[in-house]
Structure 1
Amino acid sequence: MIIKILGTGCTNCKKLEEHANQAVKEMGIDAKVEKVEDFMEIMKYGVMKTPALVVDEQVKSAGKVLSAEEIKKHL
């Protein structure tokens, strides 16, 4: 499983990345969390608001910081 955090490095983007890592650790799943900061790459997902959560190339959330518990529901 590949989890991508889309964002330009703002505080909310970093917080979403922390929560994603926490969710993966708590669930004990084999997943890789990647940070995508390149604006052109972010635009390929059609995301207009960051941070965004992408799981296996599907946008699950955009424009808000999900908690670790909320992220678990998407994994």
Structure 2
Amino acid sequence: MLSNEHTVSDASTFTGWYKSSYSGGNHDNCVEIASGHTTVPVRDSKNATGPALLVSSGGWAAFIGAVKDGSLT
């Protein structure tokens, strides 16, 4: 598994993947996160063995907060 401090080349090495409850429709264009890790792995739901972005828990919380309060448009 190739990696650096912010990515891994094969997201399937992580367990606990799930999609947001806000993902609607046929769930084709979603991101998934995996819980229970020291960082928050994020992957494209269409590519389970593709790369994953690794985000700090604080960074992920800030991103979710910005999405919820409408700061990202």
Q: TM-score, normalised by structure 2?
A: 0.27
Larger relative contact order (Cα-Cα within 8 Å, sequence gap ≥ 6): 1
Higher Cα radius of gyration? 2
